[in-house]
Amino acid sequence: MIKFENVQKKYPNGFVALQDINLEIEQGEFVAIIGLSGAGKSTLIRCINRMHDIDEGTLTVNGTNVNALKGKEIRDFRKKIGMIFQSFNLVTRSTVLKNVMISSVPDLSWWRRLLGIFPKDAKIVALEALDNVGILDKAFTRVDQLSGGQQQRVALARTLARHPEIILADEPVASLDPVTAKIVMDDFKRINENLNMSVLINIHHVDLALEYADRVIGICKGKIVYDGLASKVTQEVLDKIYQKHEKG
């Protein structure tokens, strides 16, 4: 479970990104977070894996107080949480398989890291992850020869290879065309259902959010203004979420 209790987040420039956030997300939920740019969507997601620290309140993930973690505790905690970005963060001149195996580098012995030699188990796990996202046939293809959608699926496979409990995705389909975006969203949904994995997606495509997510969280000016079933989102709800900032 992910639990926010009275969470506040303010940036050094004084901008208040999150205000009085109270939220619970159960294991296995598929949640879409929607709102205007600057509303606090990315901040909310990035607090979960300690990319950002909260200023007030409590944030726990499966009983762990996230902001109480230090040093190695943070690194170990992050192994349980996959993160997908809009930019794919891949080594484009390397093969798809090697990019996925990179996820195992922190667990390798020093000499394997030095020489770039991966054990057989890491290769098997990477191939299984590629199969899960439907691009096993691209395992030995260089990343720079793939389409944007295929590269995002490689990034997702790399995350799956770590066997996370939660996947966070920050605008994962923002740079993709509509057809490719649906293919990638299909992957997220299948992983969510087949592996009972919690998936939280910050997404600006409202139509995709309503089609794929079970639950929608709407954020406006750092506050949650809607939290409920995707099927219950009405135009009135959307108007509330997407109101212009100056309206208060």
For the chain, what is the total number of helices (H) and then of strands (E)?
A: 9, 10
Confidence of residue 88 (pLDDT cuts 50, 70, 90): confident
Confidence of residue 23 (pLDDT cuts 50, 70, 90): very high
**Are 73 and 99 found together in one domain?**
no
Is pLDDT of 158 > 60? yes
CATH code for the domain in which residue 196 is found: 3.40.50.300
Q: Return the SS3 of 200.
A: strand
**Are 140 and 214 found together in one domain?**
no
**Are 157 and 215 found together in one domain?**
no
Confidence of residue 112 (pLDDT cuts 50, 70, 90): low
Task: Map 128-190 to HEC letters.
Answer: HHHHHCCCHHHCCCEHHHCCHHHHHHHHHHHHHCCCCCEEEEECCCCCCCHHHHHHHHHHHHH
**Are 53 and 94 found together in one domain?**
no
**Are 119 and 223 found together in one domain?**
no
Count of CA atoms in the C-beta half-sphere (13 A) of 40: 28
**Are 64 and 174 found together in one domain?**
yes
Domain boundary among 108, 136, 163: 163
Q: Provide the percentage of residues in the chain whose pLDDT is more than 70.
A: 92
User: Which of the two residues, 28 and 88, has the higher pLDDT score?
Assistant: 28
Q: Look up the domain containing 127 and give its range.
A: 87-163
The confidence score (pLDDT) of residue 162 equals: 87
pLDDT in tens, 26-47: 999 999 999 999 999 999 999 9
- What is the average per-residue pLDDT within 219-238? 94
Total structural domains in the chain?
2
**Are 73 and 183 found together in one domain?**
yes
**Are 75 and 173 found together in one domain?**
yes
CA-only gyration radius of the chain, Å: 18
**Are 119 and 196 found together in one domain?**
no
Q: Quick check: 214 and 33 in contact, CB under 8 A? A: no
Confidence of residue 212 (pLDDT cuts 50, 70, 90): very high
Domain boundary among 133, 163, 193: 163
Distance of CA 56 to the CA centre of its chain: 23
